[in-house]
Each structure stands twice: as structure tokens, then as C-alpha cells.
Amino acid sequence: MTRDEFAARISVSRRTLDKWLLPSESSDFRTLPDMGRAYIQEILTWYARSTLLSPVGI
């Protein structure tokens, strides 16, 4: 998944995502809100479970 695709998946702009991923020392850095962190964790958990349960090759 590209950054653009991931930003669209979590319903934020690419620019917002980029700011969350910057080093904290950067003047443009923004902290990821707790609700956003929880939402992303849920997506990652779902993805991990779905790939473990999928038959190989599909």
C-alpha cells in the first residue's frame, strides 16, 4: 500500500500523514491523535489476521 493509498484508507490527507511520520525534531511534525492511532492499530490487526487466515497463493 502506498502512502497515498494509506492516507485515503484512514481518511486523512497525504500531507497530514507525512507530518505524523516526520521526526519529532522537525518543525512540521504533528503528533498522531490517540483516536487515529487506535484506528490504524485496528486496521493493522485486521490485516494481519486476514493474511494469516487466507490460503497461500490467493
Whether the per-residue pLDDT at 37 is higher than 90: the answer is yes
- Among 11-15, 36-40, 54-58, the least confident range: 54-58
Smallest CA-to-CA distance from 16 within 6, 30, 37 is with: 30
Q: How many CA atoms lie within 13 A of 10 on its CB side?
A: 26
Instruction: Identify the band that residue 4 occupies on the pLDDT scale cut at 50, 70 and 90.
Output: very high
Give the Å distances, CA to CA, from 21 to 30, 49, 52, 53: 8, 25, 27, 30
- Rounded CA-CA distance 58/50 in Å is 11
